[in-house]
A and B are shown apart, each in its own frame.
Chain A
Amino acid sequence: METGAVSGILNTTLALIFTWVGYKTSKIIYKYTPYSYPNARIKAMESKLLTEQRFNELAESRNLQNFIVNLEDTDYRDYLAEVQEPDVESVEKALEKALAGTYELMARILPRRVSPFFRLLLEEWDVRNITSVVKAKLAGEPATDYIVEIGPMLPKVKAMAESKSMEEILVILEGTPYEEPYQRLLLGEIDVRTFETELYRMYYGKLLNYALSKKEEERTILEEFVRLRIDRMNILTVLRGKVAKLSAEEIRPMLIPGGSVKLDPLLHVEDLGMALAELDSTRYGPVIRDVREEVERDLGVLERALEGYIIERMNELNRFYPLSVATPLGYVLQKGREVKKLRAIAKLISDGLPPERIKELAGDVA
């Protein structure tokens, strides 16, 4: 073979190899490098989540002051330091701020291609707060008691709670996506239940659109996360509807589109027992089977079981994709559960319940 031919083959081979290697390498680097810092940090944070033994120790706190002192060596310290006079409301607010801080931290340290999702997740508290305020106003109750101190719209929500009339709320909501459904509520076109559903539909719609706009495993994980949350919400709505003896036509408008479970067969069964049996063939079957008897007495048990299932599923995805968005998603859910339990313990301590009873009740909460 001539020298020129050998050189030609070598040069072409080199060009092909380098193009392929360059493409593959840059893809790997783009995909995983941005998750390296946040996910390792989150794993370290996971090791600091409170254990069952720690919750039991907290339940032994004599009073709220003691409860705060017991949390001195945790990440809650900075938030609880702001509590001057330890009353249950201030402690709850401090814990809520800590949870909001966790979401904000995730949004700050995660790669820009997924961080907006965590800001969107915070909007769930806006939806909850707005509906709570509207419901409280309609019932003539003090709305400020129902506000949770989280959410990008918190200042507006507080202004809504302090408003003198329902019309004033419309002015506050002007320019937000919630203006239009609230206007319809004021005009009497929809009732407060439909208003709440509308808000949740908007919220989950945003989450799902965001998830579907992503690619590859980010899309897989985010989409599954959103669909699981929608399923959880819809299943609980249907089952509550069944307990309240509502018809399929009455329940259907309250459902959120975008879930993975087909709800039609569930809507047409007669009672709760049959609805649970219908769910047996879905992915939630094993979860429901484990708590079936308790669920028939208290739907809150199913709510916790489904929340636990979502956490477990995120942990599974986290094991499969260690450098992905599954790690922060699993963490914020676990943190949310922890805060819920701490709030319950704080409330029970302030109510003066004995430690044994607190341990028992706190276990039922989260």
Chain B
Amino acid sequence: MDPIVYVSLGAALAAGLAGAASAFGVGIAGAAAAGVVAEDEKNFKNALILEGLPMTQSIYGLITLFLILMVSGILGGGFKFTADNPDNIVKSAILLGAGLTVGLTGLSAIPQGIIASAGIGAVAKNPKTFTQGIIFAAMAETMAIFGLVGALIMIVTGVGF
């Protein structure tokens, strides 16, 4: 494959996978939110906060997409790795790897949605568990943060601005 295919794939996977996972995560938590609100409207506020947690992975994906497009020159200039030589292949592969890291760790939005969903149910039963529910759901977020940090290191050290 050409280097531009790897770079574009990296950017697309970072935003695409993380975005799709966020959509699933929010969907799962949203269904739970609808369930508790159907029983009591007072649950709306707590459910909304928990429902929004799996959205962050899509933001990390978007940040990575912009970074990959910027360092490769697709955004704001010409593509830097046009020549089909091993160095450019490796650099474009690193960018693909960075995008893939964020995309795959962004899949944590799905289990986060599941945890948030269970948390929404628990909070509806006992509102005192709201903070704990947030903490449990936020634990899944750490994987996405690790992925983002890893991707940043890969981009900065492997390719550079």
CB atoms of A17 and B100 under 8 A apart: yes
Q: Which listed residue, B89, B104, B125, touches A17 by the CB 8 Å rule?
A: B104
**Least CB separation from B93: chain A residue:** A10
B102 at the interface (CB under 8 A from A): no
CB atoms of A21 and B28 under 8 A apart: no
Instruction: List chain B residues, Cβ under 8 A from A2.
Output: 86
What CA separation (Å) do A254 and B35 show in the bound complex? 43
> Interface code A223-265, partner B: CB below 8 Å = 1, 0 otherwise?
0000000000000000000000000000000000000000000
Within 8 A of B (CB), among A92-130: 109
**Which secondary structure dominates chain B's binding surface?**
helix
**Least CB separation from B88: chain A residue:** A3
Chain B: minimal CB distance from A169 (Å): 42
Within 8 A of A (CB), among B119-161: 120-122, 124-126
Chain A: minimal CB distance from B14 (Å): 14
Instruction: List chain B residues, Cβ under 8 A from A39.
Output: 32, 35, 117-118, 121
What CA separation (Å) do A40 and B1 show in the bound complex? 47
CB atoms of A6 and B36 under 8 A apart: no
What CA separation (Å) do A2 and B28 show in the bound complex? 45
A-B Cβ contacts below 8 A, count: 102
Chain B: minimal CB distance from A71 (Å): 17
> Interface code B83-125, partner A: CB below 8 Å = 1, 0 otherwise?
0111001100100100010001001001100100110111011
> Interface code A343-363, partner B: CB below 8 Å = 1, 0 otherwise?
000000000000000000000
What CA separation (Å) do A36 and B118 show in the bound complex? 7
What CA separation (Å) do A236 and B132 show in the bound complex? 42
Q: Which listed residue, B40, B86, B117, touches A323 by the CB 8 Å rule?
A: B117
What CA separation (Å) do A40 and B125 show in the bound complex? 9
Stretch of A27-35, A193-201, A267-275 lying at the B interface: A27-35
Residues of A within 8 A of B (CB): 1-3, 6-7, 10-11, 14, 17, 21, 25, 28-29, 32-33, 36-48, 109, 322-323, 327
Instruction: List chain B residues, Cβ under 8 A from A46.
Output: 125
**Least CB separation from B32: chain A residue:** A40
Chain A: minimal CB distance from B10 (Å): 11
**Least CB separation from A32: chain B residue:** B114
B27 at the interface (CB under 8 A from A): yes
CB atoms of B90 and A40 under 8 A apart: no
CB atoms of B110 and A29 under 8 A apart: yes
Instruction: List chain A residues, Cβ under 8 A from B31.
Output: 33, 36-37, 40
Q: Which 10 A-B pairs have the closest CB atoms?
A: A41-B35, A43-B121, A40-B32, A44-B39, A40-B35, A44-B124, A322-B118, A40-B121, A37-B31, A36-B31
- What are 18 A-to-B residue pairs whose CB atoms are below 8 Å? A1-B86, A10-B93, A17-B104, A21-B107, A29-B110, A32-B28, A36-B31, A36-B35, A37-B31, A37-B34, A39-B35, A40-B121, A43-B122, A44-B124, A45-B39, A322-B118, A323-B118, A327-B121
Within 8 A of A (CB), among B62-89: 84-86, 89
B11 at the interface (CB under 8 A from A): no
What CA separation (Å) do A10 and B86 show in the bound complex? 13
Q: Which listed residue, B21, B35, B104, touches A38 by the CB 8 Å rule?
A: B35
CB atoms of B84 and A47 under 8 A apart: no
What CA separation (Å) do A28 and B110 show in the bound complex? 8
CB atoms of B111 and A28 under 8 A apart: yes
**Least CB separation from B92: chain A residue:** A10
What CA separation (Å) do A7 and B36 show in the bound complex? 50
What CA separation (Å) do A192 and B27 show in the bound complex? 53
CB atoms of A37 and B93 under 8 A apart: no
B60 at the interface (CB under 8 A from A): no
CB atoms of B89 and A42 under 8 A apart: no
CB atoms of A6 and B90 under 8 A apart: yes
Chain B: minimal CB distance from A50 (Å): 14
CB atoms of A40 and B114 under 8 A apart: no
CB atoms of A44 and B107 under 8 A apart: no
Within 8 A of A (CB), among B5-44: 6, 21, 24, 27-29, 31-36, 38-40, 43
Chain B: minimal CB distance from A353 (Å): 33
**Least CB separation from A6: chain B residue:** B89
What CA separation (Å) do A323 and B28 show in the bound complex? 11
**Least CB separation from B115: chain A residue:** A322
CB atoms of B36 and A323 under 8 A apart: no
**Least CB separation from A322: chain B residue:** B118
CB atoms of B36 and A41 under 8 A apart: yes
Chain B: minimal CB distance from A219 (Å): 20
**Least CB separation from B24: chain A residue:** A29
Instruction: List chain A residues, Cβ under 8 A from B21.
Output: 25
**Least CB separation from B42: chain A residue:** A44
What CA separation (Å) do A42 and B89 show in the bound complex? 54
Instruction: List chain B residues, Cβ under 8 A from A3.
Output: 84-86, 89
CB atoms of B43 and A44 under 8 A apart: yes
Instruction: List chain B residues, Cβ under 8 A from A6.
Output: 86, 89-90, 93
